[in-house]
Chains A and B, each alone.
Chain A
């Protein structure tokens, strides 16, 4: 590994660390903005003043802000995100318990996107200016314009209320996955289809594609081996950046379909002012975003040596 690569990786790691620090600072400040005294939120409403001040001391609220931030960071380092006000168990346990459901739903949405949107984008690029291209891109721009919370409701109306084909809510059988997956994937599919198309159009113009064709390789091989491989980098970058959108979409989708994941958990926690849970979900999702994008970036230095030098 040459010095430039090491420098690049070091800089990316440093940036990620700084971002994580910023994320913790932000959630710390956000929680200090909560109106009212956290000690009173935990204690019953008619708790005597002595008990309140004891609780404040216990929570470290009588310390100066920088000490509070230090304590907060110390707890985070031990994966202690606080105790849920409502359930009186560590917030992290509740989140980890619900996380698999959200991951399952997100993975189905990504699978649907890869299975449908990527091929659609490729075909649209290859058969540019045809009816298929026009139809696919029109569908994509519709997909980007319909808000997911409305799409979910309309899918329920059509397939559950009117036709009785699919269940309205829950997560027990594969049938339960159909509507939430479509709802969650719609925006991503639209984005990926358009990106794949424009990225493929760019790549198909390149000399190495012409060379591959001139060698007499089959269209299939040229497309999948030569073109798509190179077109994949911008697609993967954007998808990496969309992890946040996917998690945000999960919040919406899980609320609509009563899906037992972290999205539904966090919305309920917000309503019940159960801030430790809100904080845990915010932090974990931001950490996941940083980690995934770091991995994606580092993978590039391996896939495409030109990127190392930005």
Chain B
């Protein structure tokens, strides 16, 4: 959807001090996808941060008198707005708290895989022959396994600890960064300003991190956003298969897995709401990512 971005009127030219960032920011704010996506993501983040204030119940508190209660519009009772689960826990409170796991793991996984992938991509592009070949072959190997199958197998084998989950998510995500950064480095390192930097006596490290890396930031930001969505889906997928964080900590994927058994019996709210929360979060992130791509890096293809 690369043309849906702002076509709006030209802004009056700003004083000479105004920076490129200022213009990029304004274009971002004029992009509708960024606004809608950003608002959805912001709402989810606020929900996660302020879950203790927003939730009407303790997400772990079991009310035996109130088991499998439907949402308020079917009962008229507002004490459990989105109903309760088979042990009488409040679904809305669990969805709110569940966002914490998904968002935290998503952010950590993106940071770890982004840092690792970027570093490997920088090295692969700069030291084209040996490191480059090795990294690209590793990427080929990683890409040839279906992500969810790989993640499930690894977690099943090494056990489902939090570090193991982050590691699995990071291993599944690094390739996109590495490939993109490598591509950028390959074209950047032939440019004159790199030559100039070298002539002025910059070492390899300085050239890589001070001259080349900043020029890769736009595509990296776009990829990191899109990857965040992938990581959240992957994390809930793992939880759905019972390989996520340990119960009773509420997580969206875990709630789906638990609720699945009651779907046929008609307790639809147990699966509908956590799934809706995942979808809205991912939709917001995808919209944000598309908007960012339009504004920052129109050349970048879909990933």
A234-251 to B contact mask, C-beta < 8 Å, 1/0: 100010010011011101
In the complex, whether B53 has a CB less than 8 A from a CB of chain A is: no
Cβ contact of A198, chosen from B152, B157, B302, cutoff 8 A = B302
Would A244 and B143 be within 8 Å (CB), given that A147-B279, A157-B271 are in contact?
A: yes
Q: Are A34 and B157 neighbours in the complex by a CB distance under 8 Å?
A: yes
A275-304 to B contact mask, C-beta < 8 Å, 1/0: 000100110011101100000000000000
- Cα–Cα distance between A22 and B241 once the two chains are bound (Å): 27
- Cα–Cα distance between A194 and B159 once the two chains are bound (Å): 38
In the complex, whether A146 has a CB less than 8 A from a CB of chain B is: yes
- Cα–Cα distance between A256 and B144 once the two chains are bound (Å): 24
Would A195 and B302 be within 8 Å (CB), given that A19-B137, A285-B149 are in contact?
A: yes
Cβ contact of B286, chosen from A141, A252, A281, cutoff 8 A = A141
Give the distance to chain B from A196, nearest Cβ to Cβ, in Å.
Answer: 11
- Cα–Cα distance between A282 and B286 once the two chains are bound (Å): 29
Cβ contact of A244, chosen from B145, B158, B229, B241, cutoff 8 A = B145
In the complex, whether A61 has a CB less than 8 A from a CB of chain B is: no
Q: Which residue of B lies closest to A194 (CB)?
A: B302
Give the distance to chain A from B127, nearest Cβ to Cβ, in Å.
Answer: 18
In the complex, whether B51 has a CB less than 8 A from a CB of chain A is: no
Size bracket, chain A contacts: 35 or more
Give the distance to chain A from B278, nearest Cβ to Cβ, in Å.
Answer: 6
Contacts of B302 in A (CB 8 A): 191, 194-195, 198, 238
Q: Are A141 and B256 neighbours in the complex by a CB distance under 8 Å?
A: no
In the complex, whether A99 has a CB less than 8 A from a CB of chain B is: no
In the complex, whether A200 has a CB less than 8 A from a CB of chain B is: no
- Cα–Cα distance between A128 and B159 once the two chains are bound (Å): 50
The stretch of B77-85, B204-212, B261-269 in contact with A is B261-269
- Cα–Cα distance between A128 and B2 once the two chains are bound (Å): 11
Would A251 and B149 be within 8 Å (CB), given that A22-B137, A147-B237 are in contact?
A: yes
Cβ contact of B2, chosen from A31, A198, A234, cutoff 8 A = A198
- Cα–Cα distance between A31 and B145 once the two chains are bound (Å): 15
- Cα–Cα distance between A245 and B1 once the two chains are bound (Å): 23
Q: Are A33 and B141 neighbours in the complex by a CB distance under 8 Å?
A: no
Q: Are B144 and A248 neighbours in the complex by a CB distance under 8 Å?
A: no
Contacts of A194 in B (CB 8 A): 1, 302
Would A141 and B287 be within 8 Å (CB), given that A128-B3, A150-B256, A157-B272 are in contact?
A: yes
Would A22 and B140 be within 8 Å (CB), given that A30-B157, A154-B272, A244-B145 are in contact?
A: yes
In the complex, whether A161 has a CB less than 8 A from a CB of chain B is: yes
Contacts of B153 in A (CB 8 A): 30, 270, 278, 282
Q: Which residue of B lies closest to A35 (CB)?
A: B159
Give the distance to chain B from A238, nearest Cβ to Cβ, in Å.
Answer: 8
Which residues of B are in contact with A by a Cβ distance under 8 Å?
A: 1-4, 137-138, 140-141, 143-150, 152-154, 156-159, 229, 233, 236-237, 240-241, 253, 256, 260, 263-264, 266, 268, 271-272, 275, 278-279, 282-283, 286-287, 290, 301-302
8 A-B pairs with least C-beta separation = A150-B275, A248-B146, A22-B141, A145-B283, A248-B148, A289-B144, A286-B144, A244-B146
